[in-house]
Each structure stands twice: as structure tokens, then as C-alpha cells.
Chains A and B, each alone.
Chain A
Amino acid sequence: MRKPFSKEFFNKGRMLNPWLMILPAFLILLVFNIFPLLWSLGISFYRFSVIIREAPRYVGGLNYINVITSAEAWDRIIRTGIYLAYALSLQFGLGLLLSLLLFEDFKGKRMLITLFTIPLMIAPVASSLFFRYLFDENLGPVNNFLKSIAGYGPLWFSSNMSPLGIPYALLTVVLVETWIWTPFVMFLLTAGMSSIPQDLIEQSRVDSIKFRHKFRYVILPYIKPMIALALIFRFMDSLKTFDSIYILTAGGPGATTELISVYIYRVAFERWDFGSATALSYLILVIVIFMTNVFMRYILGGERS
């Protein structure tokens, strides 16, 4: 048998203090997570900019007041809300449809599920960039196709209103994000469905009950927790949406697709106003921590029982 440590290390009965095992990981988190978090809390109370090279100046809660009273910030928050409503309902609608189609067992089901999960795992940067090609307004395959059947291809990256009530550029972001994330919803719901007792599924088959009864009495009770879980995950991750927007539209045209995370990024790294940016991100963080708390209670509560 190979021994990775000296004999002394394996000495009989030598117990290790559990804190010693946690410490290294904790140190990394301390330096690169806890410390920056506290620091950024500090920054949010200063007027602070690297570019102007002036010394940071303590301004108290001014940054927070500025952010809360800023029409611009509220505009971005509302945009984010609209985006969330569209993206999440599309992702959940399609995800549910897919998982229902995948409910019954058939040969190759696992393979199909795997294929569906590919978009989820590849870099949003890569897929978004490719969607720029697909949705290219003049020569892209999507518009080529639309023109050949409908004679018209919309300007996918413009601020023109789409028939769905949001500008085309935002719609494009929603569609791309839906492409990426629908499999996530599908996957969680499918997992929830696999927790339905086999007996109950078979009973419903032998009884040959109607689909709507099957959905209500057999499927829904078992996927409820997964729906909640997926909703919380998707809500919090959608707040973070950055990569795809940055690549697809960079927030434009104008501020059409400038959602909250892109907005903070621009305040910080284009206007170099670190104070306002950290203040705003702290407000978001508070929401997220609150949600995480709810989530933890849900998950860990369920796990205990």
C-alpha cells in the first residue's frame, strides 16, 4: 500500500482538530471574500475614484441617498424587473413543457436530457457571441430564414418595440438567456419528477386517469419543491446576468438592455464612481442575502425532516 504521509502522521489514534482542516479554506475566503466585502462596504461610504487620483473622501450615507433617489438607477431596476418577468416566465413555461414531454420513460431519454444540458454548461460568452452571428440583422441565418418565409426580418439589436411589448434588443437578450437556462429548469423539474414513487406513476397508468388529473395529483405535489428551488436559483442568477448582455449588446442601444449588473459595472469601470457602484451593489447584496436565507431555510429544513 502506498503511503502519502510519514508513519508518524498515521500514528494510531492520532485525532486531528477539525478546525485545522477548515482553516486553510477559511483563510482563502477571508482574504478574497470576507475582507473585500467589508472593504467594499467601506468604499460605499466614500467618494472614491482611482482615475481622478484624489484622496478618498468620507461622505457618510450620501452614496446610498444618491442611488436611491437617482432616476437612472430606478430606470435600470425597473428594466431588470421587466427582464426578469419575461425571462423567468419563458424559462419556466418551456422548462415545464420539456420536462412533461420527458416524463415517461423511453429509450434514449437520458441521452436527450444530456443533449439539452449542453447549452447550460458552455460559456455564455461563447454562445452569446454566436447568437450575434445568428441574429445578425442583414446576413444572419435567423433573418435569412425569416425573410424567406415572411419576407421580413426584424432588427434584433435595435431599440424598436417588438410585438411582445419589449424592445427587440431586450427580447434578444431574453431569448438567448432562455436558450441557456431553460434546460436548468427542465433538469430540476425532471429530477423532481423522478422522485415520484414508481407505484403512483404506475397506478395512474393502470387507472388510465386523465392528463390534468395526473398533473394535479401525481406530478405537481412532487415537483413543487423543485419549482421553488429553481425559482430562487433563477431569480438570483438572473440578477447577476452580465456576460451575455455584455457580448450581445453591451447594454445598448442607449440603455435599452442595461440591466442592474451591467449598470453597476459601467458606473464603476466607465465612470469610475466606485462609491455609488458599491452602494448599489450592497443594496442588491442585501436582497440576495435575504433570499439566500429563505432558500437555506427551505432546503435545509427539507433536508432535516
Chain B
Amino acid sequence: MGKDEYIIQVEKIAKTYNGRRVLNDISFALRRGELLAILGPPGSGKTTLLKIIAGLIKQDAGDVIINGRIVNDLPPYERGVSLVFETLALYPNMSVYENIASPLIAEKKDKEYIDRRVGEISRLLKIEHILGRKADKLSGGERQRVAIARALAKEAEIYLLDEPLSNLDAKIRYALRTEFKKLKSLLGKTIILATSDPSDALALGDKVMLLFNGAVIQEGPPIDIYYAPRNISIARYLTGNILNEVSISIDSYGKSVSMDVGQEFSIDPYFLKVLREVGETSITLASYADGCIVDKSVESCSGIKVAGEFIGYEYRGSEYLVYARKGERVFRSLRASLPNVTFGERVEVCIPHTNALLFSGKTGSLIR
């Protein structure tokens, strides 16, 4: 098989549960060694999609093609896939060794082979010292590793991982993410990973596929997703729903401009020109926390500047995240120090045009 051919293709997969469409014409293709991160909120259909690929759930329509072969009617163990469940699904009454050996036992491999393979994999995942322990006597991080080890023990074409980092302490999660990425480049396996945490998807994925309400809304490399989110709901999701947003209305002659954050605003003339050239009467301007300035007063602002009220902050040790509000709109800004104001005082919020994402006010799709 050539290097350019796809190892897995998913074509127009659809699934309906009790009259509710959980997956809607999902298609994607993946080359050998790539990691696809499926990112979407809980309930968006990620688990269902993975289980359809694994053969545990039958799709209503569409094909799963692995290595050029349609596997729709094959049972899970004949598809050459391996799955790490969100719940991990370790066999609690078995030892770690037996858990990892399980797929090999099912394949009726001889004892010697099993020993060798379990040894290899447990060394790789740094769990050799717990092989003899029972699976229900492990810590969260160890359980995660054992589940991944069991999946790796099986010689599969594709590894499916459902929320492999969820249910872990933030600190362990951080460490495991890095380790996981190292492991991935070490093994060169094809991996499909489902997650609801944007950080996981951005940090780990070669490609990121956004799945909202059972439909793919964008697919591409992490940087594209982050800097060119196809519509505003993606940008909101990436920031945990606290995107800095302003609605701008421009009348059809491009003369009068108004914003939903009150009368007190100013726009850099160059930026105003850009906005007029867009040709839409209603534009939503957005920026991430690192692309926004909040201070007692911002002298020169090469974008838009609005007045707000200082409502609070988060101290992160290395930096401050400052929160300001105007009406319903909340703005966040990453800063090295706190502005010299007290809670409730007036501040100025500036979004420089270089950091601004422009979305259509009507459709929410990205303009620039």
C-alpha cells in the first residue's frame, strides 16, 4: 500500500436514536500515522462515532472503510481497530497483566509471545512495576495507562481513544498529555482521539475535526482551527464560552456605526475602512484573551476601543487575567500586572485590529 493512500475512510455516516439524529453525514479520511482529534462538547456524538468505527454500534447509513475494505458488516474483532473507552472499562477482577494480555488471549497467542508483548508495552508506558496488581487497586493515572496498554497490545491498524485524559487531576492530565504526544510520535500509529477539551485537541492533533450536534463543522490543522475558526460558535467553544465579542452595525451607506456596548467607543480610521469594505451591515468582532487590552486608559488603540467596568481578575502566578464588562459583554485580557483600578471602576477595553476576528452578524461565519 502506498504512503498516500488512506488507512481509514469514513463516508457519510448517519445514526438516529429514538428519532434524534446523533450523527449526520460524517465523512473524513486519515493517512497512516496521523492523529485526528475529534473535538466537541459532551453529547455531540463523539463516542457514538468511535463505537461505530469499532463495530460496537451499527450505523444507519454510510460506510466505514479500513485499508480499502468496507467493514460495515464485520464484528469488532475483525476490523483491526482497538478502542480505549472513556470509562476505561478495565476488567477490575483481573490483574494488570491479565488486562493487557486479554486481546492476545482472545487471539490464542502462545504464552511466550504474550509475556514478551506485555513486557514490551508495559515498559513503554512505565507500568512494569504494577503488572501484578489488581486493576481496581490503581490510581487514576495508572488506570489510564493500563487501558492504553491494553489497546496497544492488540496489533491494530487504528487506535481509537475516547476522552483518554478525562477524569484525571489537572496536573496529571498535563503531564500525561505531553507523554502521550511523545508516545504517539514514537509509535507512529494511526490514532483517532475524541475529546471535549480544546487544549487536548490543539496540543495533540495533527488534524482537528470539530463535531457539534452530530455534524462536522470544521476540519483542519490546530493552528487553522484556532486562528481561522469557520464560525463564531467554534471560537466561543475554544475559549470556554468567554470570547471577547462586540457587535457592530454599519448602515448600508457605511456612514454611521453603532455597537451593542453603548455610545462610548472609538474606532481607528484604518480599521473603520476595513470594516466598511466588508460590505455587511452587521459584524461581530471577536478576540481571544491574549489579543485584548484592558487598562485604566488605553492611549492609542489601533482597533476598537470601548468603555467598561472592571469586575474581577484571576491571578495565575505568571500572569493576570483581567475581566471587564459592558452590559452583557464580558472582556478578558491577559496581563503581566493588575491595572490600577478597584472593582466596579471604569476601564478601557481595546481590541487591536491585528488580533480581531470578524464574523458575519447574520450567519456567524468568519469574514476575516
Contact = CB atoms under 8 A, between A and B. Distances in A.
Interface string B67-101: 00000000101100000000000000000000000
A13 B78 CA distance: 9
A12 interface: yes
B175 interface: no
A13 B77 CA distance: 8
Interface in A1-58: 12-13
- A-side interface size class: under 10
A7 to B, nearest CB: 9
A12 B108 CA distance: 9
Contacts of B78: 13
A13 B108 CA distance: 13
Contacts, number: 6
B106 interface: yes
A12 B78 CA distance: 10
Binding site secondary structure of chain B: helix
A13 B76 CA distance: 9
A12 B74 CA distance: 13
A264 to B, nearest CB: 46
Interface string A58-74: 00000000000000000
Contacts of B75: 13
Contacts of B108: 12
A12 B77 CA distance: 9
A69 B78 CA distance: 70
A12 B75 CA distance: 11
Interface in B192-237: none
Contacts of B106: 12
Contacts of A12: 77, 106, 108
A13 B79 CA distance: 13
Interface in B234-252: none
B110 to A, nearest CB: 14
Nearest to B105: A1
A193 B75 CA distance: 46
A12 B103 CA distance: 11
B89 to A, nearest CB: 18
Nearest to B106: A12
A104 B199 CA distance: 45
Contacts of A13: 75, 77-78
B154 to A, nearest CB: 13
A67 B108 CA distance: 68
B204 to A, nearest CB: 33
Interface string B100-141: 000000101000000000000000000000000000000000
B98 to A, nearest CB: 9
Contacts of B77: 12-13
Interface in B38-81: 75, 77-78
A13 B106 CA distance: 9
A195 B261 CA distance: 48
A111 to B, nearest CB: 27
A116 to B, nearest CB: 32
A12 B106 CA distance: 7
Interface of A: 12-13
Among all A-B residue pairs, the 6 with the closest Cβ atoms: A13-B75, A13-B77, A12-B106, A12-B77, A13-B78, A12-B108
Interface of B: 75, 77-78, 106, 108
6 contacts: A12-B77, A12-B106, A12-B108, A13-B75, A13-B77, A13-B78
